[in-house]
Chains A and B, each alone.
Chain A
Amino acid sequence: VSSSGAVAITYLLSGYTIPLMTMPPIFTKIAWFLPNTHFIVPLRDMALLGSTFAHEAHHMVWLIGFSALMFSIATILFLAQRIKHSEQSFPGAKKLFGQVGKNV
């Protein structure tokens, strides 16, 4: 449900089909934080308006930044889960992980 919902809601709020100017002003700001706004809208502009790389570069930078942020968060959460799991299976593992980290 969450992934289907995320796909649908970010699509609807990106301004791709329904213009942002018809929505309450807060959604113009929200749209800026949605990856779809920086992907499908520039994609359409490149295809139909013939926008150049320079025109859409800021969207690409945003997407790279967003990917890096999400990847970092996912990695941190994954590692935290691993450490928690190890701690449950092997008490003292957290300390050991910390030790290994210090040595590295």
Chain B
Amino acid sequence: MNKLIKILKEEQNNLLMLIFVVVIFVLFLCYVWRNPYVNHIPFRVLDKDNSAVSNTIISSLAANEGLSVCYYAGSESELEQAIRDKKVNAGIIIPEDYAVNISRKLSPQILVVSDGTNINLGGNAVAAASSVLSTVNAGLTVKMLEGNGMAAAEAQTALGTFSYVERILYEPQGGNIPRNMYTIVLLITMQIYVTRFIVPAMVDRREMFAMAEKKEYPVLVLDFAVRIAIYIATSVVVNFFALCLAGKLYALPLRGEIWIFTVSTLAFMLNVTAFGLVCGAITKNTAHFFQVNAMFTLTFMFTSGIVYPYHMMPGFLVTIIKLLSPFAAMSVGLKAVNLKGLGWAAAQPYIIDSLFYTSFWIILGALLYARSIRLLKEKRQTINTLARGL
């Protein structure tokens, strides 16, 4: 017990950092992304028709919360230039004689253009404009049918012959918090655990192992294992606490069972431990590791299967990612556990994949570390021999 308290005292700074950084980071990003909708996207109108119909369209666009009709363009090139200059993110071109061609049943076309360089803005602008246009279109069609002698109720029924209802499950708002937060919390935990504890600890302990007698090895290994267990337990609790806090303050859904969440996060932390063991075994200078790690932070995030789905990546790349990244096995699974409330049966494949990853890299890490200690010992012996010779 005394030994455990001593270890806790030694690691208290890093453990406190783990707790506070994860919680603060999660709350900060939730605050930044608290708005799930992209509203008031700058939108420009080029009305070449200037008819009652085009005015109805423009006023409907202006009434839509997603768009902010802030400029009126004089020509196509002016609209294009406005998009290029980032004054607006999208626009609409209503052609000449639009109303006349409608009455002639010539199916005139309106053009909606958007800046696709930021798909979040461009896509939302097109979606908002499309919803407005389809509503206006339905109204016009009803009026045309009525104009052709159809009764008003009949015209509406005719229009609604084919209809559908959209229902987006689990994440209907499509906000950034539920989309990213489950993975970001893992990324922050991993970064702190790997850079503050496991890799520096392994680099420091290499000397210790090299100087120790073989009979002292079990004590040293046990000491290290206890520390790892403390970090993993703290990480699981902190992850849960941070997500609960985000759930309470920013309505982040947490639909999974607590035990599935605990086992899944534990599996993830074992992956990270295995990854850290390999990194620690091959690292001599922690500063070099930090630099490489900083470069790979975003790569881990991008290849986690959350930002870009695995089924859209080439097969060989997915295999490589799953072999190398500690994120690949569990990130999608953990998001599904939290967001969809997956049961044990659905979470099992992710956990099994994770255990395979851990087993492979933990054995490799241990072997590489043992080799690096042996090499260090041999180096010391050679130096001692030479020193005695002198």
Residues of chain A at the chain B interface (Cβ within 8 Å): 1, 3-5, 7-8, 11-13, 15-19, 21-24, 27, 44-45, 48-51, 55
A22, B35: Cβ atoms under 8 Å?
Answer: yes
User: With an 8 A cutoff between CB atoms, is B283 at the interface?
Assistant: no
Cβ 8 A contact of A13, one of B32, B117, B301: B32
Known: A21-B38, A23-B33, A27-B32. A1 touches B117 (CB 8 A): no
Q: Which residue of A lies closest to B117 (CB)?
A: A48
Q: Taking beta carbons and an 8 Å cutoff, which residues of B are in contact with A?
A: 17, 21, 25, 29, 31-35, 37-41, 84-86, 115-118, 120-121, 176, 187-188, 191-192, 195-196, 290-291, 293-294, 297-298, 301
Q: If the complex has contacts A21-B41, A48-B117, are A4 and B33 also in contact, measured as CB distance less than 8 A?
A: no
CB nearest neighbor in A for B190: A4
* A-chain residues with CB within 8 Å of residue B192 when the two chains form the complex: 1
Most buried by B among A4, A13, A27: A4
List of 10 A-B pairs having minimum Cβ-Cβ separation, nearest first:
A3-B294, A4-B297, A48-B117, A4-B294, A22-B35, A4-B191, A19-B121, A19-B120, A1-B195, A23-B32
Chain A residues whose CB sits within 8 angstroms of the CB of B29 once the complex forms: 12
Question: How far, in Å, is B127 (CB) from chain A's closest CB?
Answer: 14
A11 to B297 Cα, complex, angstroms: 11
Cα–Cα distance between A16 and B119 once the two chains are bound (Å): 10
A-B CB contact pairs (8 Å), 15 listed: A1-B195, A4-B297, A7-B294, A11-B298, A17-B118, A19-B38, A21-B41, A22-B38, A23-B35, A24-B32, A45-B86, A49-B84, A49-B115, A51-B84, A55-B85
Residues of A within 8 A of B293 (CB): 4
A4 contact set on B, CB distance < 8 A: 191, 195, 290, 293-294, 297
Q: How far is the CB of B354 from chain A (nearest CB, A)?
A: 23
A18–B120 touching, CB < 8 Å: yes
Q: Which residues of A contact B195 (CB under 8 A)?
A: 1, 4
Given contacts A19-B38, A22-B176, 15 further A-B contacts (CB under 8 A): A3-B291, A5-B25, A5-B191, A11-B298, A17-B120, A18-B33, A18-B176, A19-B118, A21-B39, A22-B35, A23-B35, A27-B32, A45-B86, A48-B116, A48-B117
Question: A45's contact among B37, B40, B117, by CB below 8 Å, is which?
Answer: B117
* Residues of A close to B121: CB separation below 8 A: 19, 21
User: Which of A16, A21, A48, A50 is close to B40, meaning CB atoms less than 8 Å apart?
Assistant: A21
Shortest Cβ gap from B123 to chain A (Å):
11
Q: B117 and A7: CB pair below 8 A?
A: no
Which residue on B lies nearest to A45, using beta carbons?
A: B117
Q: Bound state CA distance, A53 and B40, in angstroms?
A: 30
B228 → A minimal CB distance (Å): 18
Q: Within the assembled complex, what's the spacing in Å between the Cα atoms of A24 and B34?
A: 8
Interfacial chain B residues near A12, Cβ < 8 Å: 29, 32
Q: Which residue of A lies closest to B17 (CB)?
A: A1
**Chain A residues near B21 (CB-CB < 8 A):** 1
Residues of A within 8 Å of B38, CB to CB, are 19, 21-22
| Neighbouring B residues of A11 by C-beta, 8 Å | 298
B298 touches A8 (CB 8 A): yes
Chain A residues with CB under 8 Å of B41's CB are: 21
Assess the B118–A22 pair: CB atoms within 8 A.
no
The answer to whether B297 touches A7, judged by C-beta atoms less than 8 angstroms apart, is yes
- Give bound CA distance, A22 to B175, whole Å: 10
Contacts of A45 in B (CB 8 A): 86, 117
In the bound complex, what is the Cα–Cα distance between A23 and B120 (angstroms)?
A: 13
B87 CB, min distance to chain A CBs, angstroms: 13
With A1-B191, A3-B290, A4-B191 as known contacts, state yes or no: A44 contacts B297, CB within 8 Å.
Answer: no
Query: What separation, in Å, do the CA atoms of A12 and B293 have in the docked complex?
Result: 18
